[in-house]
Amino acid sequence: MFRDADGKDTMTDKLQFVFIELQRFTKKVEECETFEEKLYFCMRHMFKLESRPENLRGEYFDNLFQVADIANMTAKDHETYVRAMASERDIRNQIRYGRIQGHREGLEEGIVQGLQQGIEQGKTETAIKMKAAGIDSETIAECTGLDIETVKSL
């Protein structure tokens, strides 16, 4: 922790440092029980591990060993890996774009359908008002575009 010059008063409780002397960490992988102990073991021994110990499992260690595998690739393998990842990203983006376009088209289709329903409802309401005003069914059908049977049934 940050303390004043005489070491008595804490200057801030927001910032702390932890120093680990990895050379003093002597546990074997089988003896590591906590996450921190497993992490210290990895930091001390990762460079010389031939294979992944069974004790080092879980999402964090999966990611850690995956990054280590990538870092240890030959230049040619790394280039192939980068190309494959770019290709995978392109495919994912194409799929995402297709879904967005499909969603937009579905929305547009829904809007058009809603507009058509609104227009039909407006024609029907207009026909009802015209009929209430005493206008004959033939004239109403002609003005609204509704068929004569629909107008008569209103």
Q: What is the pLDDT of residue 112?
A: 73
The yes-or-no verdict on residue 143 having pLDDT over 90 is no
Question: C-alpha 61: how far from its chain's center?
Answer: 23
The percent of residues above 70 in pLDDT, for the chain, comes to: 99
Question: Of 15 and 60, which is predicted with more confidence?
Answer: 60
pTM for the model stands at: 0.46
Mean pLDDT of 89-99: 82
The yes-or-no verdict on residue 108 having pLDDT over 80 is no
The yes-or-no verdict on residue 83 having pLDDT over 80 is yes
Mean pLDDT of 32-39: 94
Instruction: Select, from the ranges 6-15, 54-63, 108-117, 126-135, the one with the highest average predicted confidence (pLDDT).
Output: 54-63
Instruction: Tell me the pLDDT band of 133, cut-offs 50, 70 and 90.
Output: confident
